[in-house]
Structures are given as structure tokens and as C-alpha cells.
Structure 1
């Protein structure tokens, strides 16, 4: 009877799942995870997998002591159907950090890392998903690295499955300080995910690339080796996804600190594309966009080009924010742009002086410095015009 129930259970809609929770059937599912019948174990684990996206189910599995039996099922690696069901249930149950802590008591992380190789796709997807949840806890990051998880995850990036491509790159974001581009060739593989058609994969890969560039001993040499990748960066500035745009702007802000790379980006048209994004109302995108614009101002005529493409006026409106990081990046960008006389005229017309003066009085030290520098440049232009008149 319970086997039949489990088969039907896999296809139940959300409203039926709630009823099953209320009727106490989760307790029966947990009880039969310890059955001698592997088919019954598989069906019960599958049912938990299907329903554990719901927090109440995750809490019920924990309260009925079902987490340890799920970990025990990982030892039955020969039965791939059972293994897929067990890893799926662990993945979904680990969405709750309280469950992750209990899984850790039973050495689940070590066992999951061991399943990253020589497994069917349905198992790998679940394992990578579970590791993505485990990696949200700081102590687990070193464990994933020391257990060989980073190398295995990077190897999975060569695969074609978008789900574990996304999952692998997401875990690598959590563990970015362990990516060694010289020994693992991790940056090249993560960078290749920018070609993936899935926006989530693209954004996750871009976020993973940022610290790799920042922590590399010679970021310029590393990225110039991947010079074709800069074309991808430019193309993704046309993405309809705000998350992709935000992550790509963050990458550009890091890349633009190298003059050779900035020259290549400028030649490929980065300035008009960044300028075209400035009317966004998304504060996260604004923050990284302003930083990218500020650093891109360091090349040739880019300052004037940003003004020609209408970037200055919208940037002034960013000063209305209460977010310190957004204000810091915006004042930095405005300070760089204020080194061009025409941009100063636009800033003055947009009423930039009053908010800058307020920031000089109340902002952080860096914000005060950039705001004061911008006001100084405005004042110098006014004085120069007055001298020219008189």
C-alpha cells in the first residue's frame, strides 16, 4: 500500500502535498527510509525530494529524524536510482541551514564530494545542488576545497548540462579564493560559461570571474591570454537580464584597472554600451555600473565620450540614494567625469553641486574626497570662465 502511495505521491500537486503534511504522512516516509526494501527506500526518498522545496516538509523530515537515514542511503552507490533519489532529497532538505548542520554531523559533505565523479547526470545535478547549499556555510568552503571538490566541480564545467554548469559555477563563486588559474585552468573554464545561453549561468560565471581577476598575480596577462573573452563581455552588456548586466559591469570594473585591457574594451565599444545602461532604476546595477564607468574614464577620450552618449545626467540622479557603496562609486565616477569641461556643464545643469556639498559634510572619508574633488573641478572651470570674460 505504501509503495502505491509513494508512486502516486510523486505526481501530486502542491495542494495535495499540504494535505499529506497535515495528515502526518511525512513520518511514514521517513520511517520507510530504513526499510530493507531498496525500491521502497527509493520511492520514499523520491517523495521527499519532490516535496522538500516546501519549508514545512523540510522541518517535518528533520523533526522525524529523517536526515541521518538519507545520508546512510549515500553508501548504496551501486543502486543509481536510489542514489539519485537520496541525493535529491538531501539537496532539497539542505535548503534549510538547520538541516545542513545536522547533515554535517553525519559526514554528508565528505560523502557528497566523493560522488562528484563517475556518476550519472541525475546524481551529479543533485550533488552539485546540495554542495551549493552547503557552501553557504563558511567552514564548508575549505572542506570542499580540501576534499577535492573544487577540481571536480571545475571538471564538470566541461559538461553540457546547464543545471550542474550553473550549480558548479555557483559553488565556485562561494569558493572563489581557492580557484587557481595556473594549476586548475579554472578561470578559462568559468569564463567559457559566459557563452552559455542560460542567464543564470552567465551571471554566476561572471560573479565567479570577479575575484579571480582581483586575486590573480598578473590579471592583465591572464585576461589578455583570454582576449577573445573580452568580446563576450561586450556582447553581454546587451543582455535583457539585470543580473547579467550587474555581474558584467562588476567584471568590467575589475578589468578596466589594467590599461591594456581597458584599451581593448574601449576599442570594442564599451563606453556607449555602459552609457546606455545609466537610465536604470536598479540600485545594484547602478552601483556596479557607476564603478565601471569611473574606471573606464582612465582611457584616452572616454570621459568626453561618456558625456557625448548622455551618461552624466543620469549618474547625477544616483546621488539621491542612501546606499553608501552606490554613493561611493557614483562620486568616484562623477569626479573622473568632471575632468572634462563639457561634462561639468552638464553636471551643473543637472544640479549636482547641492547633493555633492551635502556629501562633503556627511559622507564617508572616500565619498567626501571624491565629492570635494568634483566640486573643486566645477569651481575651477567657473573661475577660468570668469577670467576669460574679464
Structure 2
């Protein structure tokens, strides 16, 4: 028989009420055990373990970027090498582990051993980065131990030469401790901090951080050394004074790296950097003058600095340093003259200081020809100085035009070509220099570089205009050479919006069209219609040039048809009422040519011819 089922006992209502009245069980309160005391490092004065740094980038986000990122910085992000791992890789990892241990002696020994390696090697840099060594090195900058600070800076100074490492260190906010270390009482720490800052400041983000975090006024304050130290030669200085000069050199390098930023230039101007640069340029320490001159030539982009340089007498220093044996100093001096000589007063000061002769000697030097950066700077200075007719007289005495002609080569540097053509355009305002250009066979070289230079400078068109006004020289450009020049002018005719370029270009076309079949060639190049569009300009020089050009082009019947189709009549009718007699005659003659062609076509249509 199956077992009987037990009856389920259902609690009655009275039993439930009795259970509800019973007191609940007391809650067990867990008492929190006190946390063990954290051990504090004797080296850093902080608890062991990873340090958490909160980096506020609010100020950086609020400040707009003032300069584009350079191509080198952009390309470096994607350049990765995967070489074989050498044995030094594992040794480096062990040293980083010892540094992380927090023991002062182990840290110092590790830093000393690290300096024995080639820290510019990418494999070693990668090993340090992967083990978290860069974080440790940056943290060591904020310790109170001067030996650890010195060792860390010595290592970082070599590691920071890599673009990838620079970016990583900037993300770790290395700029902040470096700025603070400029206040350090030890000169060797200040020197290392400045040298490291000069390297990382080549990156745009670092320049922005240094500017926003108040680094510029501090740099200017630290590098302000007494005049008596600047006037004495390095060998005559005491050890303390030599350290002052070394600090000033490091800070000048920082400013040279920062100088590419427009906002940094404005900060420098506000804090009176011009007077400081003027003092440094008169010192006897070439290593200090070189980066200072770099700052000068970068600041010379702004007219407010150029005028200030004239007031404090820096132009005389630029001329004096052109004769220095240091190549970089000569390059920066020539670049500064190139930028400052756009002002008439500066060109006069360069001539009075005797700066034209050194520029000519540098142009004629074979050593300078081998250094394209220096050659571009020197030819640029010559070009701007040649704008003044008084300077051309001195250039002629030095045979400048004959020295520039050999530089008109297709394989020459673009900047050099642009500057050489600009200088020739200014010098050829003197008719005697046109003959010199012809004698030295400079004319046949112009067509070969014409297309190469159009996008760089309007100087070539000014030169062509001056040559076209001299009939004897223009005859030398007949045939294929002149056609190549005409072909080269077609592209900028369509694309370039520069008013000065258009004015010079249209006049050059006008006078060139007076020879042989050049008017017909322009029609074949389809350059007549774009030329008519220039008549919408409000610039009087452009209107004059295009009106004269249209007149000469209208001598070719096919060009008259193109002009009439483009609606040239309404423009030239308006120009008939110009105040310039030459424009009036050109406009009226153009209407005459078009009307004459129309009458001829009408007679032919009605068989009256």
C-alpha cells in the first residue's frame, strides 16, 4: 500500500499575528577595520605606488590655436620601426624596475647607468616607454633631491630628441615642472631645464602650454644677465658668470623654438623682449647671439617689431653679424635683413652701415652657393635692399647683376630663384643693368624658369615688363623663347587674384604683343577671354594694363571676335572717359579695330568686296 500523505499544517490567523508581534532579530553592525598606514618614500616624500596627476587642459582648450601643425609633426606620428630587440632592451627594463622601487640609492644608480646607454636609439627609448620609465623620470623632476633632478633631466634631454618621445612627454605635462625648475637655485638645473624645454618647444602643443602657463615672462626674467658679463669674453669670466651665460643661452634657445607662434611673439613684445635682444646682439658670446638672432628674424615678420628694431639700432647689429664666421648666424642675420628691408628706413640704415658690400660678397661666394638655406636668405636680403635706387648704385659697383645670372638655373632652389628674379627685376630698373643681363646671357635663361616661378612671385612679370620696354632686348626673345614666355603666363592669368601681379602681367603682355605674331599666339592659348574678365577690377593699374593689352590684342582679327563675344565693348566704352590719356587712346583704338572688322565682315556678307 502506498504511504499516506502528511497533512500540510496551515498556520491560523492568531498564530500569524503572534509572529508579527515578536521583536525582530538585532542587526549585526560590521565595524570597519582601520586601514594600515601607507609607507612613505624617503626619496619623494609621498606614499609608495603610482602617482596620480590631474592635468587641467581647460586653459589650453579655451585658447585657440595660432599656428598650423607642421608637416614633419604630422608625418612623424605614422612612422614606426619594428627592428629586432637587442639585449640592451632587457637591461633597460631591469633599470626601470629598480627606479620604480622607490629606494633613493637604487634610483640614483639606475639613472647613472641609464646615461651610459645611447638614449637617442629608438629601441632603448621604446623600452623605457613600455616599462613606464618616462612617467618615473617626469615625477623625479618634482622631488626635493637635486641629484635625482639632475639625473632625470640629463636622461630626458637625450630622450626628447625623438619626435615620438617629445609628444609622449608633452602628454605627461612635462612643461609644468620644467617651467618651475627655471626658478631652481642651482644653475646646472636651470641650464638642463632650459635645454630640455628648447627641444620640446619645437612641438606646437608644448609652445601653447608654455605660453598659457606663464613660462614666457619667467624665461625673460631668468635670462636677464648683467651687461658686464655680456661685454667680457668667456675666458675672462668667473665660474658663476659662466653659469649665468649658460642659463641665458639655454633660455635664448627656448625663445628661438617658441618664436614660430604668433601669440608668443605678441607675448614677447608685451614683456619688452626687443631691449633684451638688443643687449644680447652686442655681447661677445657667439653661442648666445646665434639663438637670439633666430628670435629676431622670426619676430621680424611683424611690422611692429621691424619698427622697434630701427629705433633701438638692431639693424646695425644685423649688418655686423653678416661678417661672422658662424654659418647659422649669417643665415639668421640675412633673413632678418630680408624681412626688415621691406621698410624704406631699414634699407637706408643697411646702406649707411655698410651692409650692401657683405651681401654682394656672400652672393659671389662658392661656399654660400653650396648652402641653399644661406643662399636663399642672402639673395632675399639683396632683393629687398635693391628696392631703393640708391642701393642699386652700390650694387652696380660690386657687379651684382653679373653675379646673380649664374643662379638662374632650373635645378636651383625655389626660394633662391624667386629672390634672384626679384633682385634682377629691381636692378633692371636701371637701363645699364639690362645691358649687363644681355651680355652675361641672362635672357635665354628666363623662359626655362618662367613656368617654375609663376606661383612663387610676381617679380618675373615685373622683370619681363622692364625687358619688354627695351626693344633691343625684346628682339633677343623672338621666336621659340618668347612663345615659351607667353605660354607660361597663361596659367596665372586664369588663377592668380593678386592685383599687382595682374597689373604687371597685363602690361608685359601688351608690349610683348607688339612683336611678330604674339597676338595670334595669345589667341591660340585661349588667354584673351580671361584677360577681358580683368576689366571688372576696380584697381586703376590693372585697368590701365588690361586696356593697353586689349588694344594690342585687337590687332589680330580672331581676337576681336573673341573680345566681342565676351562683351568687351561695354568696358572699353567706359574707359574712353578715363582721366589717363594713354587709357583713352587704347580704349578708343580697341573700339576702332572691332568696328573695322565688323564693317569688313558686313561688306563681305553683301558681296561688296
Aligned in 2, Cα 1:124/1:225: closer, same or farther, shift over 3 Å?
A: same
| Unaligned residue ranges in structure 1 (runs of 5+) | none
1:145 maps to which residue? 351
2:212 to 1, 5, 22: 22
Q: Is residue 302 from structure 1 mapped to residue 518 from structure 2 by the alignment?
A: yes
C-alpha distance in 2 between matches for 1:16 and 1:272:
49
The reply on whether 1:352 has 2:352 as its aligned counterpart is no
Q: How many residues align?
A: 386
Residue 6 in 1 paired to residue 194 in 2? yes
Is 1:209 matched up with 2:424?
Answer: yes
Most deviating of 154-163 and 136-145? 154-163
The alignment status of 1:53 with 2:260, answered yes or no, reads: yes
Displacement after TM superposition at 1:186 (Å): 1.3
Q: Is the 8 A contact 2:401 2:437 kept in 1?
A: no
Return 5+ residue gaps in structure 2 as ranges: 1-188, 226-240
Residues 338 and 308 of structure 1: CA distance in aligned 2, closer, same or farther (over 3 Å):
same
Q: Is residue 32 of structure 1 aligned with residue 222 of structure 2?
A: yes
Q: Distance in 1 between matches of 2:288 and 2:407?
A: 31
1:266 corresponds in structure 2 to 478
Larger Rg computed on CA atoms: 2
1:226 paired to 2:440: yes
Matched position secondary structure for 2:397:
coil
Task: Write out per-residue CA displacement over residues 168-207 of structure 1, whole angstroms, 9 at most, x where no aligned residue.
Answer: 2222232212123531111222343333632232222212
Structure 1 residue 383: Cα displacement:
3.3
Q: Is the 8 A contact 1:73 1:82 kept in 2?
A: yes
CA distance in 2, matches of 1:94, 1:368: 44
RMSD: 2.5
The alpha-carbon deviation at position 361 of structure 1 amounts to 4.2
**TM-fit CA distance, 1:254:** 1.2
Aligned ranges 1:1-390 → 2 under 5 Å: 1-12=189-200, 13-35=203-225, 36=241, 37-77=244-284, 79-158=285-364, 159-160=368-369, 161-176=371-386, 177=389, 178-180=391-393, 182-195=396-409, 197-216=412-431, 218-227=432-441, 229-239=442-452, 241-244=454-457, 246-275=458-487, 277-279=489-491, 280-284=494-498, 285-361=501-577, 365-386=581-602, 389-390=607-608
Relative CO higher for 1 or 2, CA cutoff 8 Å, sep ≥ 6? Answer: 1
What TM-score do you get using the length of structure 2 for normalisation?
A: 0.59
Q: Quick one: distance in 2 between partners of 1:301 and 1:59?
A: 55
User: d(CA) in 1 for partners of 2:533 and 2:466?
Assistant: 24
Larger helix proportion of the pair: 1
State the distance in 1 between where 2:297 and 2:488 align.
40
What is the CA-CA distance between 1:386 and the residue it aligns to? 4.4
Question: Counterparts of 1:87 and 1:310 in 2: how far apart (Å)?
Answer: 49
Distance (whole Å) between structure 2 residues aligned to residue 144 and residue 114 of structure 1 = 10
Q: Give the conservation status (yes or no) of the 8 Å contact 2:207–2:261.
A: no
* Contact 2:428 2:466 survives alignment (8 Å): yes
CA distance in 2, matches of 1:275, 1:334: 17
Structure 1 CA distance for aligned equivalents of residues 309 and 475 of structure 2: 50
